[in-house]
Homo-oligomer: A and B are copies of this chain.
């Protein structure tokens, strides 16, 4: 009986995209670099605090990078790293799954 999963790489990935916002923020950068203000307008329902924390966590994990432009006022832009761009594959696969099965889940929840 193979014993796996407890402490393997998938745990790193699973922890990384846990919760709604990390995946949503990564996806919202799929079209290219964006400023925090752009992201806030693009992502309905996210507070400034949660956006800032999520971006910081994604940066800490090497998924996004932050570029600061020495302008007045200073401009900050976030963009996906290579690891971030590759993360779009499972995120988009999950989006496809959700498009097909979200109603299945809702029905199951109601009939439970």
A interface with B by C-beta (< 8 Å): 1-20, 23-24, 27-28, 38, 41-46, 59-63, 81-83, 86-87, 89-91, 93-102, 104-109, 112
Instruction: Find the B residue at minimum CB distance from A23.
Output: B14
The answer to whether A83 touches B60 (Cβ under 8 A) is: no
The answer to whether B44 touches A6 (Cβ under 8 A) is: yes
Q: Which of B43, B60, B87, B94 contacts A4 (CB 8 A)?
A: B43
Q: Which chain B positions have C-beta within 8 A of A96?
A: 89-90
The answer to whether A20 touches B11 (Cβ under 8 A) is: yes
The answer to whether B104 touches A62 (Cβ under 8 A) is: yes
Q: Which chain B positions have C-beta within 8 A of A109?
A: 60-62
Q: Which chain B positions have C-beta within 8 A of A105?
A: 12, 16, 61-63, 83
